[in-house]
Amino acid sequence: MRRLLGLFTLLLFAAFPAAAQDKKEVDLALVLAIDISGSIDPDEARLQRQGYVDAFRDPVIVKAILGGNHGRISVAYFEWSDAWVQKLLVDWTLLDSEAAIEAFARRLNDAPISIARRTSISGAIRYAVPMYSRSPYEADRKVLDISGDGSNNDGGLVTDVRHDALKERIVINGLPIMNGRPNPFGFPAEDDLDKYYLHCVTGGPRSFVEVARSFEDFPRAIRKKLLQEVADIGPLNDFDIGDLGADRHGVQLAQSGRRPPRSEEDYTRFVQPEYELGCDVGERRSRDFWQRRFGVTPD
């Protein structure tokens, strides 16, 4: 009987070898979520994409990716707009060499540009959360990097899905693009978008908002943002950035300057106080705009 039991155990391990092996460890699991809503025209979408391509080809970023404890990170890249419109361009990819990083940048560069309609940050977060559980890598840190040029105006309330992400110990950083011009439909620019991102979108220990003052400023902003996310060095001031060889521009707002002990890692505690205008301000502005301009409320 014992001999049969032992034989059965050996057959079980032979049939499921992956179950007996641990996932490859990485320093960071990074999801890049990029806004392609209707307020972004094709030229601006190309500027966004090129900003990421150039950042991953930057020697300082490459050095940071390969210089961590494990010497590698995993990254995924998707674009989002309406609540149920998310387009996965590159699924989880291991960046463990200069060649792998260049191959990732080339895949981004070669992917087609597309534009959709609404702005659903909540839909982007909801889409991203289960990506981490199906990742083939075991990450020391999980970061969701959201960039966009407007507040949430479609799907569920952004703070509800943010809470779900923080419960999974996913840090959310934001890169609002504040270009100061109305979108193609005439919707006015949001002068408080940086505060909205800080109070309503980002969360987790040492999460932060890096502000791009235009689409032309986006490459500078994403380079700075990626550097500190990959290197796990927390929010940077101008002096720190100069030391690291990055540009000395931009505005950054941070949630917290310290990382809590692992035993105290309740990420839901690391959010800003409730936004004075309410985190449903995007939905209200959208309804008011369409009602005033066309006498209808968007679906």
Instruction: Give the pLDDT of residue 22.
Output: 74
* CA-wise closest residue to 267 among 204, 206, 223, 218: 204
| Distance between CA atoms of residues 4 and 161, nearest Å | 50
Q: By the 8 A CB rule, do 139 and 72 touch?
A: no
Tally of domains in the chain: 1
Q: Is the pLDDT of residue 4 over 60?
A: no
**What CATH number has the domain bearing residue 117?**
3.40.50.410
Q: What is the CA radius of gyration of the chain?
A: 21
N-terminal to C-terminal alpha carbon distance within the chain:
66
What average pLDDT does range 37-46 have in this prediction?
83
Q: Is the per-residue pLDDT at 120 higher than 80? A: yes
C-alpha dihedral over 248, 211, 273, 127, to 10 degrees?
-130
Report yes or no on 156 lying in a domain: yes
SS3 label, residue 114 = coil
Given the structure tokens 């990382």, which residue do they identify? 259
Token pair in block for residue 183: 């979108």
- Where in the sequence is the domain holding 51, given as residue range(s)? 24-258+266-294
Residue 150 falls inside a structural domain: yes
Q: How many residues does the chain have?
A: 299
**pTM for the whole thing?**
0.84
% of residues, the chain, pLDDT over 90: 61
Which residue type does 154 have?
D
- Which one-letter DSSP state was computed for residue 129? H
CA–centroid distance for 294 within its chain: 34
Residue 237 lies in a domain: yes
Residue 60 counted as domain residue:
yes
**Is residue 19, in this structure, part of any structural domain at all?**
no
pLDDT digits (tens, 9 = 90+) for 152-191: 999 999 999 999 999 999 999 999 998 766 666 656 678 8
- The predicted structure's pLDDT at residue 273: 94
- Is residue 6 situated within a structural domain? no
In a domain, 115, yes or no: yes
Q: What is the pLDDT of residue 94?
A: 98
For residue 117, is it within any domain? yes
